[in-house]
Amino acid sequence: MNNGEGRRLSGQAEEEDDEDDVDDGGLEAWERAYADERSWESLQEDESGLLRPIDNKALYHAQYRRRLRSLASSNAAARIQKGLIRYLYVVIDLSRAASETDFRPSRMAVVAKHVEAFIREFFDQNPLSQIGLVTIKDGVANCLTDLGGSPESHIKALMGKLECSGDSSLQNALDLVCGYLEQIPSYGHREVLVLNSALSTCDPGDIMETIQNCKKSKVRCSVIGLSAEIFICKHICQETGGLYSVAIDESHFKELILEHAPPPPAIAEFAVANLIKMGFPQRAAENVISICLCHKEARGGGYTCPRCKARVCELPTECRICGLTLVSSPHLARSYHHLFPIAPFDEVTPLRFSSSQHRLPKSCFGCRQSLLNPDVMFCMYAASYQEIGPAYLLNAQNANSISALTVIFMFTKVCITAPVARVSDISRLSAPVKNSYGCNLNFWSSQSQRAVFSYV
């Protein structure tokens, strides 16, 4: 011990000379961004002298396309069942390690910021699901908010309690969460997302037992680490079927956490299919005044529970008087794009169009952008539309690399979702469909589904 101290003392003088010399003469990753890569030099000015932000679009779209392609190859036009009604607990580690400053300003602040964005995105993609928050502090896990469907209450509670101290304890957190998740209805999918900053865990008992418990209760645990890869986290995720990832920097962390927002593929035995009774309230006009349940004051323009006629202000919610779950049809419609995803488009370079089989139209079908422009290098071709008519060329404006921008990702989903996804079912349609010209989008063809989505 003495020798070690002596060595450290003599080495200290050298250490003080080298700035930030932490790991064997190299710099930490965040320091390298300033020292080696000189991020200030990649700023650009636009015409009026104002700073233009660094253009990372090409990089992001390359990653995005890669991800889409890998997803598509694994899905291979199969409809993987997704767990749409999710009960997710987010476990936030507020131990000593969360006050480290390798994420600016501190790990805790970065986590809180991104958890807020995650909560909003989660409710946007899964309107029927619920989130609860749990914190680990001083080796003890505390429930910050109960399972609920309103994003504001969670975010407010989180932002109010951002102090860190003590050790982290994975076992306590998992025990607490499993206990709460026992009480939810059987059709819901049970999930936990642990945001782990610490490198150690201080447990009162055998964590392997807790893991087996989780597995038995069908809880899917995922972990996002902020420091380094830890075996026990990897083990938890492997046993329960979750995802383990470690964040390299802030933007990577954001990407990783937002990956958990869309519903994961469901492990079929985990949730029992059930018929859930729900109500679809009508929205009253602004001048019809009534006392609402949530604020207990007279207001106009809320929703009326169809069973007990009580007024609520926002949906989805549970009627406090009669216990009926109240949703509106757009909430259900939001989840349909998880159920029926479209196939990704094929990117085609203009060189391919010099062949005789493809006539190059002069302008894009969707947005009328001229395709004769030399800046435009890539177009996208709805590959599976061959049966119907000529290719619908959708323009990718100003694409300058192999990863052509998915110009109209969401919008193209709308344009093409029905015909492309249901090419095989065209023959069963009764509405005029085989139209080689126009954007005939009015079908949702599979027999059972045509009945499904009728709306009078």
Partner 1 sequence: MASAPSKLYADDVSLLVVLLDTNPFFWSASSLPFSKFISHVISFLNSILLLNQLNQIVVIATGHNCCDYVYDSSSLANRSSGTGKLPAPSADLLEKLEEFVIRDEKLLKREPEGPIVSSLLSGSLSMALCYIQRVFRSGPLHPHPRILCLHGSQDGPEQYVAIMNAIFSAQRSMVPIDSCFIGAQNSAFLQQASYITGGVYLKPQLLDGTFQYLSTVFATDLHSRGFLQLPKSVGVDFRASCFCHKKTIDMGYICSVCLSIFCKHHKKCSTCGSVFGQPQSDAASEPSKKRKTGDA
* Distance from C-alpha of 272 to C-alpha of 196, rounded to nearest angstrom: 31
- Nearer to partner 1 by Cβ, of 151 and 166: the residue is 151
CB of 354 to partner 1, least distance (A): 25
* Distance from C-alpha of 131 to C-alpha of 143, rounded to nearest angstrom: 12
- Nearer to partner 1 by Cβ, of 360 and 439: the residue is 439
- Nearer to partner 1 by Cβ, of 98 and 399: the residue is 399
Q: Is 453 left (phi over 0), alpha (psi -120 to 50) or beta?
A: alpha
Q: Which of 339, 343, 303, 344 is nearest to 453 (CA)?
A: 339
Which residue spans within 181-243 are E strands per DSSP? Answer: 189-196, 219-225
CB of 430 to partner 1, least distance (A): 7
Q: Which two tokens stand for residue 4?
A: 């070690």
Asked if 196 and 93 count as a contact pair (C-beta separation under 8 A), the reply is yes
CB of 113 to partner 1, least distance (A): 16
Name 131's Cβ contacts closer than 8 Å, sequence gap at least 6.
88, 89, 90, 119, 122, 123, 145, 147, 148, 149, 154
Residue 206's identity, in one-letter code, is D
CB of 366 to partner 1, least distance (A): 3
Which residue spans within 349-409 are E strands per DSSP? Answer: 378-381, 393-396
CB of 276 to partner 1, least distance (A): 5
- Nearer to partner 1 by Cβ, of 176 and 326: the residue is 326
* Distance from C-alpha of 401 to C-alpha of 61, rounded to nearest angstrom: 10
CB of 82 to partner 1, least distance (A): 9
- Nearer to partner 1 by Cβ, of 170 and 382: the residue is 382
CA 373 to chain CA centroid, Å, is 36
Residue 224 dihedral angles phi and psi, to the nearest 5°: -120, 120
CB of 379 to partner 1, least distance (A): 13
- Nearer to partner 1 by Cβ, of 143 and 313: the residue is 313
CB of 156 to partner 1, least distance (A): 23
* Distance from C-alpha of 207 to C-alpha of 214, rounded to nearest angstrom: 11
Asked if 65 and 109 count as a contact pair (C-beta separation under 8 A), the reply is no
- Nearer to partner 1 by Cβ, of 353 and 443: the residue is 443
Asked if 243 and 219 count as a contact pair (C-beta separation under 8 A), the reply is no
- Nearer to partner 1 by Cβ, of 77 and 199: the residue is 77
CB of 139 to partner 1, least distance (A): 36
The 282-283 sheet, strands edge to edge: 282-283, 303-304, 311-312
Asked if 273 and 285 count as a contact pair (C-beta separation under 8 A), the reply is no
- Nearer to partner 1 by Cβ, of 50 and 351: the residue is 50
